[in-house]
Amino acid sequence: MKLKILAVGQKMPSWVSHGYQEYAKRMPRECSLEMIEIPPAKRTKQSNVSKVVELEGKKILSMIKDVDYVVALEVKGKQWSTEELANKLSAWQGVQPSIIFIIGGADGLSAECLKRANEQWCLSALTFPHPLVRVVLAEQLYRGWSLMNNHPYHRE
CA separation for the pair 102, 4 (Å, rounded) = 8
73 annotated to bind ligand? yes
Inter-CA distances, 48 with 9, 44, 45, 52, 115, Å: 18, 9, 9, 6, 21
Amino acid identity of residue 131, one-letter, is: P
101 labelled ligand-binding: no
Annotated binding-site residue? 147: no
Q: Annotation-wise, does 82 bind a ligand?
A: no
Count other Cβ atoms within 10 Å, centred on residue 91: 11
Does the annotation list 57 as a binding residue? no
Asked whether residue 3 is marked as a ligand-binding residue, the answer is: no
Q: What residues are designated binding site for S-adenosyl-L-methionine?
A: 73, 104, 123-128
Q: What residues are designated binding site?
A: 73, 104, 123-128
